[in-house]
């Protein structure tokens, strides 16, 4: 059943030819085409392809390429990144994409053991080098420069290099917003230390409500982003806006960068505008 996981964007993303205006911009060819139509195919050969003016793509990669666009357009200046922690490795495509982009830093993927095994399988199938972290020495030096699949918080925490947190990206596209409250609470103290944070979340997931009807951000608000916002609003510039390319609405990016590293910018080409900004997550000096 796992190959079908590569196809899940088929039902949630716009696929028509004109949708390319939400996925690409004028900088695509120069800055990140190496991660797109020029990149080697990743994953099962049966995964559908879609044709846009820029070339032929699989929707999972189109979705993940938006991370590169956010780093390039929404942060001023574009940050240097030496370490990435991805909560929820999914199909493993982010690791492949970063490799195609020329990233040679450390990448730590955190997920369930069974998903980690499947990620490793598709990495090997597709020629993406990765290793398991549970048998490695508990130090950042043991994983430096590698893609490492982790399935325990202890091993992950032992491999995070706290000396370079200002050059580190924490990435969680939906996964952390779908996690139980205990997992979120365990990760927030780690997440707040990262210089750069990129997440995606929906208004609801099963019975977990990530937004309140109340438009104020309060410390006792148990919605998804509010605890993190309360932790980092003094140290990070923050912005959140609605994701443009999904069939359903009320799904948002959450982007933050440490104030001593730069600013976040609301960019129209990413669908960010005063109308699409999350109504409550505005704790920043935003650039328009």
Other CB atoms within a 10 A radius of the CB of residue 142 amount to: 15
Which residue in 143, 204, 197, 199 sits closest to 170, CA to CA?
197
pLDDT at 1 over 70: no
Q: How would you classify the pairing of strands 83-87 and 106-110? A: parallel
Encode pLDDT of 88-134 as tens digits.
999 999 999 999 999 999 999 999 999 999 999 999 999 999 999 99
Residue 213, pLDDT above cutoff 50 = no
Helix (H) or strand (E) holding 75: strand 75-76
Q: What is the pairing mode between strands 196-202 and 168-173?
A: parallel
Check pLDDT > 70 for residue 135: yes
Least confident of 2-16, 148-162, 169-183, 188-202: 2-16
Confidence bin at 227 (pLDDT 50/70/90): confident
Whether 46 has a pLDDT exceeding 50, the answer reads yes
The predicted structure's pLDDT at residue 205: 57
Beta strands 55-57 and 131-132 are unpaired
Question: Considering the entire predicted model, what is its pTM?
Answer: 0.91
At 224 the three-state DSSP class reads coil
Report the alpha-carbon distance of residue 267 to residue 54 in Å, rounded: 21
Structural domain of 247: 69-270
In a domain, residue 26? The reply is no
- Does 273 score more than 60 pLDDT? yes
23: Cβ–Cβ under 8 A, 6 or more apart, which residues? 52, 62, 65, 66, 245
Per the domain annotation, does 73 fall within a domain? yes
The span from the CA of 170 to the CA of 55, in Å, is 30
Domain assignment present for residue 42? The answer is no
Q: Side by side, which strands form the sheet with 196-202? A: 131-132, 147-150, 106-110, 83-87, 168-173, 196-202, 251-258, 236-242
What is the pLDDT at residue 222?
42
Q: State the sign of the Cα–Cα–Cα–Cα dihedral 258, 259, 262, 263.
A: positive
State the CB neighbour count (10 A cutoff) for residue 201: 27
Tell me whether residue 280 is in a domain: no
Does 22 map to a domain? Answer: no
Measured from the Cβ of residue 144, the count of other Cβ atoms closer than 10 Å reads 15
| Average pLDDT value for the chain | 87
- Are the C-beta atoms of residues 246 and 260 closer than 8 Å to each other? no
Three-state SS string across 111-139, please? CCHHHHHHHHHHHHHHCCCCEECCCCCCC
CA distance 178 to 201: 8
Lowest mean pLDDT across 4-8, 108-112, 139-143, 157-161: 4-8
Phi, psi (degrees; rounded to nearest 5) at 277: -65, 140
Mean pLDDT value of segment 244-253: 81
H or E element: which one contains 155? helix 153-159
Residue 201 belongs to a domain = yes
Per-residue pLDDT at 212:
47
| CATH number of the domain bearing residue 189 | 3.40.50.150
pLDDT for 285: 54
Domain count within the chain:
1
8 A C-beta contact, residue 62 and residue 22: no
Residue 107 lies in a domain: yes
Residue with the bigger pLDDT between 18 and 205: it is 18
Percent of the chain whose predicted confidence (pLDDT) is above 90 = 64
pLDDT at 2: 59
Strand 208-209 and strand 204-205: the pairing is antiparallel
Residue 40 domain-assigned (yes or no): no
pLDDT at 26 over 50: yes
Query: Which pLDDT score, from 0 to 100, does residue 204 have?
Result: 63
- The average pLDDT across 191-212 equals 76
Alpha-carbon span 168 to 184, nearest angstrom = 19
């Amino acid at each position: 059943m796992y190959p079908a996981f590569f196809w899940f964007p088929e039902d949630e993303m716009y696929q028509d030819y004109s949708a390319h205006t939400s996925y690409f911009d004028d900088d695509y060819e120069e800055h990140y085409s190496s991660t797109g139509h020029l990149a080697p195919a990743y994953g099962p050969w049966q995964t559908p392809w879609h044709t846009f003016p820029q070339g032929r793509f699989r929707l999972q990669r189109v979705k993940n390429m938006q991370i590169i666009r956010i780093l390039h357009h929404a942060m001023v200046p574009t940050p240097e990144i030496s370490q990435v922690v991805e909560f929820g490795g999914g199909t493993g495509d982010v690791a492949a994409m970063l490799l195609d982009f020329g990233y040679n830093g450390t990448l730590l993927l955190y997920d369930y053991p069974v998903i980690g095994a499947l990620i490793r399988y598709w990495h090997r199938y597709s020629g993406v080098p990765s290793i398991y972290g549970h048998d490695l020495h508990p130090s950042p030096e043991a994983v430096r420069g590698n893609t490492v699949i982790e399935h325990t918080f202890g091993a992950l925490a032992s491999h995070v290099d706290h000396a370079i947190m200002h050059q580190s990206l924490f990435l969680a596209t939906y996964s952390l917003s779908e996690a139980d409250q205990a997992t979120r609470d365990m990760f927030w103290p780690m997440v707040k230390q990262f210089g750069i944070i990129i997440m995606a979340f929906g208004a609801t997931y099963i019975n977990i409500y990530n937004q309140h009807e109340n438009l104020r951000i309060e410390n006792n608000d148990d919605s998804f982003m509010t605890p993190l916002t309360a932790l980092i609003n003094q140290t990070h510039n923050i912005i959140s806006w609605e994701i443009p390319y999904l069939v359903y609405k009320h799904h948002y990016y959450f982007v933050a960068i440490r104030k001593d590293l730069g600013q976040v910018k609301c960019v129209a080409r990413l669908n960010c505008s005063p109308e699409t900004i999350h109504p409550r997550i505005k704790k920043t000096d935003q650039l328009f």
